[in-house]
Structure 1
């Protein structure tokens, strides 16, 4: 059987770069790692004094606390102008000198929130940098702010600076969670350091699985892409199997089918694609055509023909000459010649070359439609573009022979024999035809001889009958 090409996509197109939302809102990222938008502004002092005795944080005085609370209430009410005005007054020339480092840190922290709310990411970044520049601020406040700084670098697509800031954050925290490792993995991905990216996203996946949670689809997708870029097909398949377990989607069935093919696991390749097809996931023509090729490669031509026929009828598969030819070939291999012929007729009619008319002639011949076979092959030869005119003329000779047009059959075989690739077959057919004609002539001669003997015998009987009448005695009865 002919091995058909089992895919119509390029490998690169199938496994395109996954989409990652670089500009995720800072508040969402903070939520992912368990932080609040205000970076624990006022709670940090109580929280961290027990963690690091060596860091002596200045006290937050009540008068400053009240001003900060007033600004925070305005900010939370979306009255950003009022909030900013309060903060401006607090760090006016004289006021700024009266604030200690912790109080200043809280002022800049609220400034950053206001700027971020206005989508002034560069301004927010500068303010957060001012927060961590203050000496002796609570450890929790510095840790939270450094994480936010890293996020803001990523929001502005300053990938390397974001990576550096995040590494600094990792050095300070004792309990990084899976989301933080993913964020670092995405940063490394953006600077094309795929080994570091893969290491970090796999760490996140492992942490999530160990905690009894299902890792996020995006995490698996990053790992899938990175393994694919490393040409690690086996690991890519493992990740895709996890994706299909937790997030069954068409693209993953198609991708894993392709990779099973690369692993020479033909039965799994077919099963994966068929799973998507029976769920009506394969809504694109090229996907359905690939399904048909896989059925053909598995020697299931009837299913291939049904896939093509359905797609052509509902127009999800384009009605090109090539697609009708594929359909006709599948029906022919299924021994459904009455269905193969209309498909091949459409394929031939849509082609500018004669090759498909020759193939149509072959199908007609298989179906004992000799006159139609002769017409189709002659049309193909006259149109041109036939890959093997010699074999076309061999088939034409067979059609003429079966239609009892022996002289034309001989001409076709002789013409085919002018190509050295077909001379042996042409001679065999001419020899067979001559012997068959001789056999028919012999049978005809025998038949004629028998007819002559029967005629002679009949004539003798006719002559004997009058003689017997003459010898009869009159009156005797």
Structure 2
């Protein structure tokens, strides 16, 4: 799931600026309203004046809150609230705004929401004040997991904006907040459309702004949920280029793998490894697997050995088995055998001992092949027990013990997976025995 990408609430800044500019704004609005109506076609609100005695009390409450004296600040606001019947809409809105600000500072978010809801209920108030409060409400609802209310408040903000500035583009910050809410509602298509529009708006403007990193993260998450791996890959390419974070390189490699582009997957992981971004045991294991898959077993083994030596991977059956297989594939059998032996001792079945027996056989270490295969059979749960008997038969033959070889080959013939080869070897051993008997009779 993508993180909730919330813009920082600027409630305190909003409260301060509105109190400090309230008198001036109200006076200017009252004196210039006729001129404004002559200049523009839209209807302008007549906002009542914020009186100085209310302003002084609100400023005192803010000062107490700034000093961390929240209880005293609430007492001042309660004194103001006792005179609410004589206050105009602007004054009431400012009072509720300060209630909201102090509740927010105290992390009483539900109480803050209630207070800010009371702000927008007071009419008329300045449009900028109403919009700022609606946006703060949208953020708070997002924080509280109220996703429908988040969208509702943003759309109320947009309604005011469109009335004031018809045809003006909806700001990217609104689109992002709606995208976050839609994502949390699991409406991934809507989330994708909103975040795409926000990113496009910023990428194509001429103001020099950069898209926030978390916007791309949300865009990637939406594409992922929509099962659009090609688009996920494209977003990750941007994240890699713009932010150079290790996790994006690893994720990009993973997406190349999901798209079946194994060569690019390996190349991306190798670059990440060179940059020092392949740091965890799981990442090192994944890269080692890629090396093995692409038939570069020495690099696979070397990386696995490094991960084990650094303690990033445990010396458990899985990791030791893979390391042994990598060394064996790289024809470094001397390095593979002790690792495979350690893995076999940890295993609950005899399969690894059986593999070890075959490795010894290939090295012409006949007795070791016999001993390992015997351990495999004794430990049991083999996929093909017949192959262990076959290895023992071949090793006994090379040890010169023809009778024991035939005994093991006879056992191997009882299993489908080894019957054909065991039969051929038995004929060969019998032929060798007859030939030796002939030589012995001639000599006698």
TM-score range, shorter chain: 0.7 to 0.9
Q: Say if 1:354 and 1:379, in contact at 8 Å, map to a contact too.
A: yes
Of residues 379, 382, 389 in structure 2, which corresponds to 1:386?
A: 382
Counterpart in 2 of 1:119? 107
**Deviation, structure 1 residue 361:** 0.9
**Equivalent residue in structure 2 for 1:189, among 162, 171, 183:** 183
Separation (CA, whole Å) in 1 of partners of 2:72 and 2:342: 75
Count of residue pairs brought into register by the alignment: 424
CA-CA distance at 1:305 after TM superposition: 1.2
Using the TM superposition, name which of 341-350 and 418-427 deviates more.
Answer: 418-427
Please name the residue that 2:328 is paired with.
332
Is 1:256 the counterpart of 2:244? The answer is no
After TM superposition, the score normalised by the length of structure 2 is 0.85
The structure 1 residue matched to 2:353, chosen from 346, 350, 357, is 357
Matches within 5 A, 1:84-103: 84-92=74-82, 95-103=83-91
The change in CA–CA distance for 1:366 and 1:64 in structure 2 (over 3 A counts) is: same
Distance 1:20 1:68, change over 3 A: closer
Task: Give, in whole Å, the separation in 1 of the partners of 2:90 and 2:100.
Answer: 15
Q: 1:343 to 1:67 in 2, by over 3 A?
A: closer
Is the aligned partner of 1:54 residue 2:54? no
Matched, 1:158 2:154: no
Is 1:273 aligned to 2:251, yes or no?
A: no
Aligned residue number for residue 7 of structure 1: none
User: Are the structure 2 counterparts of residues 340 and 75 from structure 1 closer, same or farther at C-alpha, using a change threshold of 3 Å?
Assistant: closer
Structure 1 residue 415 displacement after superposition: 2.0
Q: Contact 2:15–2:98 at 8 Å: present in 1 too?
A: no
Task: State which structure, 1 or 2, has the greater radius of gyration over its C-alpha atoms.
Answer: 1
CA displacement at 1:97 relative to structure 2? 3.8
Residue 424 to residue 153, structure 1, CA distance change in 2 (3 Å) = closer
Mapping of 1:118-267 within 5 angstroms? Answer: 118-173=106-161, 174=168, 176-211=170-205, 212-267=208-263
Whole-angstrom CA distance in 2 between matches of 1:37 and 1:102: 13
Task: Give structure 1 stretches of 5+ with no counterpart.
Answer: 1-16, 450-477
Which of 82, 88, 92 aligns to 1:104? It is: 92
Task: Compute the displacement of 1:338 (Å).
Answer: 0.7
1:18-42 deviation per Cα after TM superposition (whole angstroms, max 9, x unaligned):
33366x7633xx69xxx73446341
Cα deviation for residue 298 of structure 1 reads: 0.5
Conserved 8 A contact 2:15-2:97: no
2:369 is aligned, of 373, 382, 396, to: 373
- Relative to structure 1, is the Cα distance of residues 382 and 114 closer, same or farther in structure 2, using a 3 angstrom cutoff? closer
Consecutive unaligned residues in structure 2, runs of 5 or more: 162-167
Are 1:26 and 2:9 matched, yes or no?
Answer: yes
Query: Residue deviations 1:137-167, cap 9 Å, x none?
Result: 2221211122122223223332212221111
Does residue 40 of the first structure (1) align with residue 31 of the second (2)?
Answer: no
Q: What do you get for the CA RMSD once the two structures are aligned?
A: 3.0
- Write the distance in 2 (CA, Å) between the matches of 1:338 and 1:133: 81
Q: Identify which range, 422-431 or 392-401, moves more after superposition.
A: 422-431
Secondary structure, in 3 states, of the residue corresponding to 2:46? coil
Determine the C-alpha separation between the residues in 2 that align with 1:97 and 1:377: 95
Please give the residue correspondences for 1:304-319 in structure 2 after superposition, counting only pairs within 5 Å.
304-319=300-315
Deviations 1:44-81 (A, max 9, x none): 54589657553222233445444444544444454545
CA contact (8 A) 1:341 1:363 kept: yes
Secondary structure of 1:26's partner? coil
Q: 1:368 to 1:126 in 2, by over 3 A?
A: same
Question: What TM-score does the superposition give when structure 1 sets the normalisation length?
Answer: 0.79
Kindly indicate whether the alpha-carbon contact (under 8 Å) linking 1:44 and 1:140 is maintained by their aligned counterparts in 2. no
Compare 353-362 and 146-155 and name the one that shifted more. 146-155
What SS does structure 1 have at the residue aligned with 2:141? helix
Aligned to 2:165: none
Between 76-85 and 150-159, report the one with greater CA deviation: 76-85
